Structure 1
């Protein structure tokens, strides 16, 4: 597995470089008007400049604060709710229809409601991220707990351990890798939701607000795309950190994070 890692990184790097070259050629050859879409080299240069732009870094921190705050709250609530529903079959049956009805509701459709309900844009963003991220974590938690080996639980009970000990020693350790997968899925979902909320709100806050402002007053497409590049990098870095954490924390788990 470790020997294959450098080859995977090399292939990924080649893919990124190839995409940049193609994007550059598409503009340079006149297939796309450079007034509408700037060359990739110009976008990357603007992205490098943004890395030292305090205004943009402040916007990034605003986005990250709402993103990770909503994700953390969603993780705590969804895991706790999953444990409760798994331990209470009648409540699980009663809540199933509610979950199936609410889960497909797009978080972006709730942006007007969140903006009216909460006094600050940060609270609105966190609430929407919480709503969007809670579902994949809750579903993964429920399925993971449902698949815990019943023999292992009964064996522990036969030695006189109570329900709390079975939960802490068997159920949670067995479910943890799958819960972590749900959190990793929710990471990317939450980033999309928080940036989209900033774009729609139009309050000039966060990465979305920065992207919106870069298009006002005649428009600076290179700056807008550069900001979007860094927004994508945020998701990539967060996912990489999550994968590394899963591999270290769940080394005993056969599947591993990919």
Structure 2
């Protein structure tokens, strides 16, 4: 195999990947600008990227928008944290006790595919409106990625490591805490990262459907029902939601790689 071929197969450096991502984002913005400026799309429905970004910058200094953003971030953070506190112990229980897993599997498989947005009317009737509705739905939607990744991580634990610990007289709880939990921690972290994106989607979606109170979704809802619709405001708010999601994902990926270098090194060696 030639050196040129090997260089193509070698993974790109972090700096190269960042440059490619920035180039892709700029190309996408340029495409929106071109489509809007040339009339391929009605500017009333797709404003130029420069107008969207300008409005997004202006929203930062708007106290009302900042209040909406802080409300959404609060619901996102509380819901995601509660989901992790519930899903990790439950995943450890289901993943380490086969009898419990078998007894609850049908219920879990029934609940998991139900769209969280479809539960908004029911949850609103049961617990009212406001922050509690958003948090409840975020918890419900975010629980599944963490739960299933926890269970998947437990299934991949080296059985020899567990048997070695048992041979020294350690009980099931000690084996779980000393071997199973550390080995499955990278998968739990991945589940949390996936759940962070799901939580953000559910937070904004719930606010849009509810259409009341505060939150970025409420801001988008009222901009959409205005006559005429304020598409620049809508897309500027969507820009901030997307940017926040990108930043959170990047931070979690960096933390995951730093905390679990041994896991990524093992994956690289297996490939």
Quote the offset at 1:217 in angstroms. 4.4
- 1:238 corresponding residue in structure 2: 248
Task: State the shift of 1:160 in Å.
Answer: 2.1
Task: After TM superposition, give the deviation of residue 161 of structure 1 in Å.
Answer: 2.0
Q: Are residue 91 (structure 1) and residue 100 (structure 2) matched? A: yes
Q: 2:206 aligns with which of 173, 179, 197?
A: 197
CA RMSD of aligned residues (A): 1.7
**Distance change (3 Å), C-alpha of 1:255 and 1:231:** farther
Q: Give how far 1:256 is off.
A: 8.8
The match for 1:209 is 218
Give the TM-score taking structure 2 as reference length: 0.90
After the TM superposition, which of the residue ranges 248-257 and 10-19 deviates more from structure 2?
Answer: 248-257
Partner residue of 2:175 out of 149, 153, 166: 166
Residue 136 of structure 1: how far off its partner (Å): 1.1
Q: Please tell me whether residue 123 in structure 1 is matched to residue 121 in structure 2.
A: no
Q: Is the 8 A contact 1:204 1:213 kept in 2?
A: no
CA shift, 1:255, in A, is 5.6
Displacement, 1:138?
0.7
Query: Does the CA contact (< 8 Å) of 2:67 and 2:214 recur in 1?
Result: no
Task: Give 1:145 shift.
Answer: 0.7
1:219 equivalent in alignment to 2:229:
yes
| Match status 1:100 vs 2:109 | yes
Structure-1-length-normalised TM-score: 0.95
* 1:62 pairs with one of 59, 71, 78: 71
Match for residue 193 of structure 2 among 159, 180, 184? 184
- State the Cα distance separating 1:252 from its structure 2 match: 1.7
Partner of 1:134: 143
C-alpha displacement at 1:57, in angstroms? 1.3
Length, aligned pairs only: 257
Q: Which runs of 5+ in 2 are unaligned?
A: 1-9
- Say which SS state the counterpart of residue 36 (structure 1) adopts: coil
Contact 1:250 1:256 in 2 (8 A): no
SS in 1 for 2:263: coil
Q: 1:199, 1:212 within 8 Å by CA — same for their partners in 2?
A: yes
Deviation at 1:226, TM superposition (A): 0.3
Structure 2 CA distance, aligned partners of 1:165 and 1:91? 19
Q: Does structure 1 retain, via aligned residues, the 8 Å contact 2:95–2:150?
A: no
Relative to structure 1, is the Cα distance of residues 154 and 4 closer, same or farther in structure 2, using a 3 angstrom cutoff? same
Q: Which runs of 5+ in 1 are unaligned?
A: none
Partner of 1:228: 238
Q: Does 1:40 align with 2:49?
A: yes
Q: Which runs of 4+ in 1 moved over 3 A?
A: none
Identify the residue that residue 247 of structure 1 maps to in structure 2. 257
